[in-house]
Structure 1
Amino acid sequence: MQSPIVIIGVGEMGGVFSRGLLRLGVPLYPVTRNTDMGELAAALPSPEVVVVAVGEADLQPLLGQLPSVWKDRLCLLQNELLPADLAGIEHPTVISVWFEKKKGMDTKVIIPSPLYGPRAGLIADALGALDIPTRILQNDAELLFELVLKNLYILTSNIAGLRTGGAVGELWQEHQGFCRQLANEVIDLQEALSGAQFDREALIQSMKRAFDGDPEHKCMGRSAPARLTRALEHGQRLGLELPLMHEIHAEQTHD
């Protein structure tokens, strides 16, 4: 029998990973809000992987409660991850998720989802069983670029959508100057948060390819105002001006 897998969070995204893993014939143990993780960890101290499928707002509180025997076998899939969020986690597997799953709808792929880490092959096989494309990265630098790219896509489209509404295809076609200006502020923030520098045009062109992968994807989700507030809080802490973000925030405050 294959080694068991633990999955923490069984919402829409957790359900996708669960179905893929079950199709591989892997024993799967779900963790819900009512599960005693200490008790389960005592029974399963060495699972093959612990897939953490909670939302980004719940990630850090969860990591603080996680049994220590599981901390060297995590797979993380949250948005807005950067290396600082992985501090203290040994050899994590990370996937930048580029598919969407909402209640009552099939999984919708935008572009292949990049994976990195010791369990990347297993997760790629599980998603492949659902016809969800992935690609495995080769090193830490590639992972950092992909994490920043996903953050760029989410923050640029969400924050821009607070002003323009509409879909990402319209954002690029009709408001490209505005989109680029905002994207550069997001990159300023990502560079300050990560302590690294990036090829800005390569990031923006990669973001455009993601826009092209699903041009009807709506810019502004429910999390957009919170993402803008969080970005400005990071900017203030890091001494960044972010003038366009402040303009958009002021527009929202006065509405």
Structure 2
Amino acid sequence: MTNEKIILIGIGQLGRIFAGGLLRTGYSIIPVNRGDDMAALAAKEPSPRLVLVAVAENDLHSVLAALPEQWKGCVGLIQNELLPRDWEKYQIQHPTVISVWFEKKKGMDAKPLIASPVYGPASEMMVKALESIDIPCHQLNNDQALTFELVRKNLYILTTNIAGMKTGGNVSQLWENHRDFATAVAQDVMDIQDWLTGQKQDRNKLLQGMVEAFEADPLHMCMGRSAPGRLARALSFADEAGLNVPALRNISIV
């Protein structure tokens, strides 16, 4: 057992799951809620084992912008639509990053789809914490593997959400009944991800990874409440990059 402390910023559904695993593996949790004074807390706790940022993706940048300097060397991130540029702009160089492949909704237990990959200084600790509560997780070996896994998760989320705006239904129906359309949306999403990361990923491997997640939870519904915002964000990136993304633009005017 350890007496090391974890700062947990955001105590929502996912934050509570991580807290449970970390507590079970012997860490002390110091929660940070919206409106709390992080600078004052950092003055008292300048050297935690990890500062896990578990806020929603829409709140991520405001939290990182306000993050005390003492904590920037031990950050953990779990958000969707996450890429290296999102933490590098705040001079965070080596965070621990988890591509979360499990769901947690109110009144339901955590539901893993596939094993969640993790990379960074606290990756071994996070694997043990999640596995202690029966959530599969595995470590990655390098930055390139992390970028691939983040793009893979983004591909899954953006393709299902955006394509679902037109097709509705679940991911199995999307892939079985609208495969050409879903693939066209995915190609546009991968164009944007290539531009955002400055790297070209193996597209066949990415598509295979997306389908693996489809098969793990075939009844997962495509379109969530965040879908229109995800489409608007994707088109904004495409405009900035000068990308055509015809499948995405067609959805935007339907």
Q: Which TM-score band (shorter chain)?
A: over 0.9
SS at match of 1:71: helix
Query: Partner of 2:191 in structure 1?
Result: 188
User: Take 1:67 and 1:192, find their aligned partners in 2: how far apart are those partners?
Assistant: 30
- The CA deviation string for residues 64-121 of structure 1, in whole angstroms up to 9 with x for no partner, is 1111100110000001111111211021000000000011111011100000000001
User: Take 2:250 and 2:180, find their aligned partners in 1: how far apart are those partners?
Assistant: 16
Are residue 240 (structure 1) and residue 248 (structure 2) matched? Answer: no
TM-score between both structures, scaled by the size of structure 1: 0.97
List runs of 5+ in structure 2 lacking aligned partners: none
1:103 to 103, 106, 112: 106
User: Take 1:137 and 1:25, find their aligned partners in 2: how far apart are those partners?
Assistant: 23
Matched to 1:158, the amino acid is: N
Query: Partner of 1:122 in structure 2?
Result: 125
Query: Partner of 1:175 in structure 2?
Result: 178
Query: Partner of 2:15 in structure 1?
Result: 14
Shift of 1:210: 0.5
User: Take 1:61 and 1:211, find their aligned partners in 2: how far apart are those partners?
Assistant: 32
Are residue 4 (structure 1) and residue 5 (structure 2) matched? Answer: yes
User: Take 1:34 and 1:59, find their aligned partners in 2: how far apart are those partners?
Assistant: 14
Are residue 199 (structure 1) and residue 202 (structure 2) matched? Answer: yes
Could you list the structure 1 runs, at least 4 aligned residues long, displaced by more than 4 angstroms after superposition. none
| Identical columns (%) | 52
Matched to 2:77, the amino acid is: L
Query: Partner of 1:35 in structure 2?
Result: 36
TM-score between both structures, scaled by the size of structure 2: 0.97
Shift of 1:17: 0.4
What is the alpha-carbon root mean square deviation over aligned residues? Answer: 0.8
User: Take 1:202 and 1:111, find their aligned partners in 2: how far apart are those partners?
Assistant: 16
Are residue 94 (structure 1) and residue 124 (structure 2) matched? Answer: no
SS at match of 1:156: helix
Query: Partner of 1:224 in structure 2?
Result: 227
User: Take 1:90 and 1:72, find their aligned partners in 2: how far apart are those partners?
Assistant: 7
1:162 to 154, 162, 165: 165
Are residue 135 (structure 1) and residue 145 (structure 2) matched? Answer: no
Query: Partner of 1:82 in structure 2?
Result: 83
User: Take 1:198 and 1:25, find their aligned partners in 2: how far apart are those partners?
Assistant: 38
User: Take 1:21 and 1:83, find their aligned partners in 2: how far apart are those partners?
Assistant: 25
- The CA deviation string for residues 126-167 of structure 1, in whole angstroms up to 9 with x for no partner, is 111110000100001100100100000000000010000011
User: Take 1:214 and 1:245, find their aligned partners in 2: how far apart are those partners?
Assistant: 24
User: Take 1:62 and 1:26, find their aligned partners in 2: how far apart are those partners?
Assistant: 23
Matched to 1:97, the amino acid is: V
Matched to 2:27, the amino acid is: V
- The CA deviation string for residues 33-52 of structure 1, in whole angstroms up to 9 with x for no partner, is 13211111111100000000
Query: Partner of 2:71 in structure 1?
Result: 70
List runs of 5+ in structure 1 lacking aligned partners: none
